Amino acid sequence: MTKKLLCVGGARPNFMKLAPLVRELGNRPRFQPLLVHTGQHYDDRMSGAFFRDLGMPDPAHFLEVGSGSHAVQTAEIMKRIEPVCESERPAAVIVVGDVNSTVAAALVAAKMGIPVVHVEAGLRSFDRGMPEEINRLVTDSISDLLLVTEESGKRNLLKEGAPESRVVVVGNLMIDSLVANLEQARARPALTDATGKYGVVTLHRPANVDSPEQFSAILQALDEISQTLPIYFPVHPRTRARLSGTLSPGIRLLEPLGYLDFLSLMSRASVVLTDSGGIQEETTALGIPCLTLRENTERPITIDEGTNRLAGTSTEGILAAWKEHLREPKVGRIPAFWDGRAASRCADALESFLFT
């Protein structure tokens, strides 16, 4: 008997994780994956280009939620996904990551008695001031199957009382997409005019870009770094709306990039500065030093085993981490199960969960 699975995503990182999983599930006769795009990221630059680059099928359901406050967006997703669950009656709802689409779909499914599968479960920053941390905690607490990228996630879940039988370490779907697309990305023409080394920066978290003081402190550090290393900065729409004044000539602003163009740019960089969780993982897989512009990370394996350093968000902290990087660039290793085969292990876990 074929099991119908709703695979829910709404933001760019979701699609990078769903692409290999939907492909793998579609190749297994026991499953019928149906992609649901909530529309949390809704313009072509923020989601459409990713669908094309990742070779994803058109969504079976596009909810067109759009932007809004956390409460408004979460509520709207819940309102719009409930009829989808009622009409499709899936065997399970699969959610990924930690965005509003994740928690909203999980809540609706759990209340309807539909099993919830959380991919990338158990990650914790231990900072409840992060909206994503609340989403992670709530989603994990109501999920029936918890698929984990790294051992710290499993430890966190067991400490919180999750049954060990429902926790499976499968690896990292983000790295599946990277492995599958890296050669194609590197074959693309370079996006920069840099003749030597350069850095890449991404900034999008509200805590960093919505506070004028904090955003200014970060930009001040980037300005100093750019005096000796050109920096390329693909600018998230949220971030661009808050940019004012003139940046250093060493900081080159770019429009938001599709998945392959950004992977091409990042894979050639000598260092990446970011507040993104997924980029911490990708740089570790690529062996590129990363300075994380945050006070904490829910992905400790990128520090313990990978190439990541926490730089903080103050000018002084970022520059101290930069100087440490110059003295001793971090050399890491690729964590266990970050091998491009996480989708297969996810599908195996789903078969075991739904058919035994």
Is residue 334 classed exposed, middle or buried when 0-12, 13-18 and 19+ CB atoms within 10 A define those classes? middle
- d(CA 58, CA 42) in angstroms, rounded, equals 14
The set of residues, in sequence order, having a beta carbon less than 8 Å from that of 32 and lying 6+ positions away, is: 2, 3, 4, 5
Q: Which residue is listed with tokens 């920096």?
A: 231
Closest CA to 162 of 139, 178, 146: 146
Residues identified as active-site: 204
DSSP codes joined into one string, 96-114 = ETTSHHHHHHHHHHHHTT-
**How far apart, in whole angstroms, are the C-alpha atoms of residue 19 and residue 14?**
9
Q: Are 209 and 185 in contact (CB under 8 A)?
A: no
Q: Sort strands 167-169 and 145-148 into parallel, antiparallel or unpaired.
A: parallel
Does residue 251 contact residue 200 with C-beta atoms inside 8 Å?
A: no
Distance CA 155, CA 167 (A): 10
**Of residues 318, 202, 237, the one with CA closest to residue 42:** 237
Question: Rounded distance, CA 6 to CA 280, Å?
Answer: 28
| Rounded Cα gap, residues 97 and 14, in angstroms | 6
| Full strand arrangement of the beta sheet holding 308-310 | 251-254, 231-234, 199-202, 271-274, 290-292, 308-310
